Structure 1
Amino acid sequence: GKRELSPNNRSFLRTGDLGFIKDGELFVTGRLKDVIIINGRNHYPQDIEWTVEQSHPFIRPGGTASFAVETEGEEKLVVVAEVERSYRRPQKMDVDSTAVSSAADVTHSKELLRSIRQAVAKEHDLLVHTVLPIKPGSLPKTSSGKVQRHACKRDFMAQTLKVWES
């Protein structure tokens, strides 16, 4: 509801939105409840998610969520990212050589995770505690397509997200 914040008869509506006014126009930039605070610094999830989406060609645009979880008394960064359907493990070199295939699978997966971690560290000076690649189309979103970060965090904590496997 409305709340009087100043004595000059100006009313404000606390919506929880973040934004700024430029040239008399209001620009909404995000939600206060989504801000990630790690080591006393504010980080905006949209910025981290954009970095993640740019870090590897097989991360789905609009298919990432970032949030903090408390671990060992500290807030740690978690990144959840949908992986494109076309990102598959390398073809087996030899049908009978499962050892070669398994090694290639592990290398393929590690390369994806390493790309994400390096990009976030470089652009935001943040260590990613956990990167969870998930199946395409499985990130919680609203009916209008907005990422539901709190639902994603809930599902992450409950271990109910659909994990992508290489």
Structure 2
Amino acid sequence: MNYLVLIENAQKELPHLVNESNLKQESIKNIISIRGCNHCTQTIEQCVKQSHPSLRPNAGVAFSVEVNDKERLVVVQEVKKTYSRILNVDEVIKAIRTALLEEYGLQIYAVVLLKTGSLPKKSDRKIDRHACQRAFLNASWDAIHTWTINPQQDLQQLQIDVNALLENVQMYVQQAQFKVS
């Protein structure tokens, strides 16, 4: 399989979802597909860490898990030590969910907030994405807080997602009409 062709095609077909400079540097394994759209994990992680001041830079990971035959987004993020005692987890979860919904139209299935230094790392000091995914699936984190969407929220979130997608389509159509004029 020619990965370069896949990347070039993704750049042409999904320029609004995939930052071109990030995609050239991303390996295929760091691209996740949620609801039929491809997303670079690095851009998701960047959005998450900027969503709230309590979140440590370069100390988060995004990956997908299969839930009811659908790929769902999971975010695992370390919290700065200075916030560990005064952390308002509801505020942080809401900030992360809102940022990803507004920026990429993404619904999060789960958020895990960890203490500083808790993310598993490889020998090269990079975050071990697969170890994070295994820890999530096995519920083996020593987490500050774990949030998972419930079915009722899922239905409400689906309506929000549909509305956000409709707005994006309307905006795209308006931009296309403006370019034609």
CA positional deviation for 1:88: 3.4
1:57 is aligned with what amino acid? P
Instruction: Check if 1:131 corresponds to 2:119.
Output: no
CA distance in 2, matches of 1:32, 1:147: 17
**Helix, strand or coil for the counterpart of 2:47?**
helix
Which one of the candidate residues 28, 32, 40 is aligned to 1:32?
28
Task: Measure how far apart 1:110 and its partner are.
Answer: 0.1
SS of equivalent residue, structure 1 residue 56: coil
2:120 pairs with 134, 140, 143, which one? Answer: 140
Alignment RMSD (CA, Å): 2.3
Residue 109 of structure 1 and its aligned partner are, at CA, apart by 1.2
C-alpha spacing 1:139/1:88, structure 2 compared with 1 (3 Å): closer
| Matching residue of 1:71 | 67
- Give distance in 2, aligned partners of 1:47 and 1:146: 16
Counterparts of 1:158 and 1:31 in 2: how far apart (Å)?
A: 26
% identical equivalent positions: 38
Q: Which amino acid aligns with 1:164?
A: I
> Which one-letter code corresponds to 2:28 in the other structure?
L
CA contact (8 A) 2:55 2:78 kept: yes
Larger radius of gyration: 1
Give unmatched runs, 5+ long, in structure 1: 6-11, 20-26, 91-104
Q: Which amino acid aligns with 1:156?
A: F
**What TM-score comes out, normalization by structure 2 length?**
0.64
CA contact (8 A) 2:30 2:41 kept: yes
> Does the 8 Å contact 2:84/2:115 carry over to 1?
no
Structure 1 stretches of 4+ with a deviation exceeding 3 A read none
Answer yes or no: is 1:54 the counterpart of 2:50: yes
Letter in 2 for 1:123: E
Alignment-derived partner of residue 20 in structure 2 = none
Is residue 87 from structure 1 mapped to residue 67 from structure 2 by the alignment?
no
Conservation of the 8 A alpha-carbon contact between 1:34 and 1:149: no
Q: Give distance in 2, aligned partners of 1:143 and 1:56.
A: 29
Change (3 A) 1:113 1:152: same
Q: Which has the higher strand share?
A: 1
